Every structure is written in structure tokens, then in C-alpha cells.
Amino acid sequence: MIAPTKKKGKKVGAVLVIGGGIAGIQASLDLAETGQKVYLLESSPAIGGNMARLDKTFPTNDCSMCILSPKIVECGRHLNIETITWADLEEVSGSAGNFKIKVRKRARYVDLEKCTGCGECTEVCPVTVASEFEAEVGERKAIFRPYPQAYPNAFVIDKGRIAPCRNACPAGVNVQGFIALLSQSKFDEALELYRARNPFPATCGRICTHPCQDACNRGNLDEALAIRDLHRFLADREIDAARRGEPLEVTEHMKARRKAEFPQRRGSGRRVAIVGSGPAGLTCAWDLANMEYKPIVFEELDVPGGMLRVGVPRYRLPVEVLDYEIEAIKRAGVEIKLDTPVGPDRTLNDLFDRGFEAIFIAIGTHKSRRLGIEGEDLRGVIHGTTFLHRTKMGEPTDIANKVVVVVGGGNAAADACRTSLRLGARRVTVLYRRSRVELPASEDEIKACEEEELSFDFWPHLRAFWVQAGG
């Protein structure tokens, strides 16, 4: 309880009672009877606390609700008591007699003035979860009232948990939000909401392994939503409009949405150095620019994009698509310095001396994992990342009309296989030490390899392969 004090005989402020159990209710009633304004703060949707869950545990053999219910009614009707439910105390500042309280009130998604507490909504709600009121041994619906005598006598929709699709997204994209906007034909707003967390909607729309779709609840009913294809549609629509000379118009509504996604605009031009212009570095720069910092990206190569540029094959990610998205990041206020490595000649201390207040290191993983076996460095053996880098940068490769063996079964291996075919290899075989179902590559990539008639050799067929090859 945070109570007022007296200064020169005068009462200051009101009283905040934290916790809406029986103790908080009684304290609120006692204070209210003295004429003080009382705010009763409770984190659950209704006051009552744990006592509402008890039954005939008192020496008088009375039901707990018989004792509690009259006090709940009195508390709810008292003119000097204002209940704040479904809310959390975030901060207390100030000093005795002059407290400032910061409370975050969660959305109920139900209008308290219109809800009659009839309970018909629970009959049609399709979502069932464990009931906290029944110690999670029972169940309740997503729209609920903790118990029949609850005050306020209104229902609340529990949306506190993160949606499975958003939780599975590495970037935390508001999947439900942008799809809801898209369904209302608010395409520009939907794309803006997506970009608030990920500035690469067109790129990820092509190469993302879409864990969000694997987690989509709709897949338990019929088929998961095509989330990756949906944000690719939004991005490609904007790119096509730009090609026609119709660039995206950022409306006031979209500006307000972006401001809501980046509430802490405390940059004020403060400079941050970012080492590396791959997806991590550019995303960091995008976020900082939207918070009004001044990010400057230092890139060793003569082109930006990192592995998106020099690792992902062109057939999966066209260069013009990546260029468009990087230009959008630059328009947000990001400066990219190419041919500018950070190393012996330009150290981190040098960057600090030049006025940068922070440094974000995003140098990526441009080296392949080595197998550590005999013959790994023989002529004709090329590591996957090196091979993809060379082909993407236009360096010559001597594999035309030759038999190529790719060791491994990940997405990089799949890229190496399909790239080899496009470079004229006569036959490409994938060697993997486990079974088909254990391939780590995404299912889309595996199916694409099979459609292009690549051959696979799995254990226990590997021994036969080596014998046939003369090993």
C-alpha cells in the first residue's frame, strides 16, 4: 500500500492499494471510509484473490465466498474506490507524500460498459486453456471470467501469450497483424508493420525457411497459412509499383504505426558504428535509424549485403530485389561505407576516437566448416561457402560436364548442388551420413533438388558408393 502523508496539516494525493485479495479489499474499504480516494490495483481480471478459490475452510464452517462476496460488492460500489484490474505496476518514483506511479493496463478486448456477463461468448470460443482459478487442473476458454461472482462482472480475452507463428519467427514479426491488415486490402500498412521488425520482406519471402508456417495453429485443422508467400506478395507489389514510377507513399497513419513500433526515439543523431553489411548489420542499422540514431555501416567488400549478396544463389534471390531493399534501408538514414574494412588499419579504438558511442559487430560466417579428414585439401575439393561465393561473384569454375559430389545435407549443400547443375555439371550426387528423413535442409529445398533429378546416397549405401568410386 502506498499512502499519502501530510504536509503542513494538509492531505496530499490519494492511496494506491496493490493487490485485490481479501486484505487489499478490506484495506481499501477502511481507507475509503475515512474519505480518501483509493485506487485498488489488481493484476488479474477481477478482485477477490485466492480467498475466492477456497471452500468451507473456516472454523465457523462458512463458505469463503459467503464472507468475501459482500465485501467485493461493497468495494465495487463504494464511490471512493476505483478498481484497476488486468493491470500491472511498472514503476514507483518520487518520495513519501509525492509518489508517482506507472501502471500498464492490458487490453481486455471486451467493453466493460457493454458486457452483461451472460457467458454466451464462452460457448462459441474455440480456444481452450488451463484454468488458473482451478490450479490448472481444470480448463477455461480464452474469453473468460475468473469465477461467477467476479467483479467487474465482465469477461476478458486472454491474449497475453505470443502467437506461435510470431514466437517462432527469429525476427519476431507481428504475423497476425500484417495478415489482418492484408485481409482488409491495407497492403501498404501491412508491409510497413512487417518492416517494423524485418527490413527484408522480399528477400525473406524467397529464402526464409519459414518456421512461422511450421508453428501455425491452422496446420492442426487443415493447412498452415502461406505466411512467407504473403509478405513476398506485399514486397513484390511495392517493387513492381516502384518500377512503374509509383513509389510507396508513407501516410500519416503509417508514420504513426512505425512510431508505435519504435517508441524509444532517444537517438538524437548519436553515432553508432556497425561492422558488416550482412542481414544482421543492416537490420541493426535499420532499427537504430528508426530510433533516430546515426548508424554508419563499414563493409570490407565493394558490395553491400553480406552472404545475401555473395552466398545465396541468384536463382533464389535476384540481385535487383536485394538492391531495392538495401536502398530502402539507406533511405531510412543508414550510411554504408564500402571497401572499408575494420582491422589492423582501422581498429575499434579508432572508431571510438572518431566519435562513435557504440559498435555493433556483424561480420557474418563467410568460412565453411571443415571436415577434418585426409584429402580435404586436394585439387578439385572446394568447400561449400567458398564455392557459392566464387560463383556468385562471377569467378570461373571448372565443373562443366563433370561429375560433382556434394558432402552434406544442409541448405548450403542444396544450394551447391543446384548451382552445380546450372554451371553445366553432368551429374550431381549428394552424400549424407544419415537417412532421407534426417536431412537438415528445408523440405522445400529437398523437393527442389529431387525435381531437378539430383541423386542422393544415404547410409548404409555410402560404403557401396565409395567402393564403386574406387575408394
Secondary structure class of 442 (helix, strand, coil): coil
Yes or no: say if 214 and 167 are a contact pair by the CB < 8 Å rule: no
DSSP state of 410: S
| Beta bridge mates, 360 | 274
Determine the Cα–Cα distance for residues 113 and 422; give it in Å rounded to an integer.
66
The answer to whether the 1-159 and 262-361 domains have the same CATH topology is: yes
| pLDDT digits 0-9 by tens, 430-451 | 999 888 888 898 888 899 998 9
Q: What is the mean pLDDT of residues 276-298?
A: 94
CATH architecture of 164-259: Orthogonal Bundle (1.10)
Q: 81-84 and 128-130: which strand pairing?
A: unpaired
Q: Kindly state the percentage of the chain with pLDDT values over 70.
A: 88
Determine the Cα–Cα distance for residues 228 and 168; give it in Å rounded to an integer.
13
Say what the pLDDT of residue 13 is. Answer: 67
> Ranked by mean pLDDT, which of 52-61, 126-135, 257-266, 345-354 comes out on top?
345-354
Q: What's the CATH number for 1-159?
A: 3.50.50
79, amino acid identity: L
| pLDDT tier for residue 5 given thresholds of 50, 70 and 90 | very low
Is the whole-model pTM more than 0.85?
no
Say what the pLDDT of residue 458 is. Answer: 85
Angle subtended by helix axes 22-33 and 64-77, to nearest 10: 40
Say what the pLDDT of residue 7 is. Answer: 47
Q: What's the CATH number for 262-361?
A: 3.50.50.60
* CA dist list (Å): 152 to 133, 236, 317: 16, 48, 54
Determine the Cα–Cα distance for residues 46 and 153; give it in Å rounded to an integer.
8
Domains of the chain by residue range: 1-159, 164-259, 262-361, 384-468
* CA dist list (Å): 350 to 273, 354, 356, 464: 11, 6, 9, 57
| pLDDT digits 0-9 by tens, 367-417 | 888 888 888 889 889 999 999 998 988 888 888 999 999 999 999 999 999
CB-based contacts of 414: which residues, under 8 Å, 6+ apart? 441, 445, 446, 448, 449
* CA dist list (Å): 274 to 195, 215, 245, 284, 358: 20, 33, 32, 8, 9
To 5 degrees, how large is the angle CA 320–CA 323–CA 326? 155
Task: Pull the grid cell for residue 148.
Answer: 461467477
Question: In the CATH hierarchy, which fold is given to the domain comprising 384-468?
Answer: FAD/NAD(P)-binding domain (3.50.50)
| pLDDT digits 0-9 by tens, 218-263 | 888 889 999 999 999 999 999 999 888 876 665 665 566 666 666 5
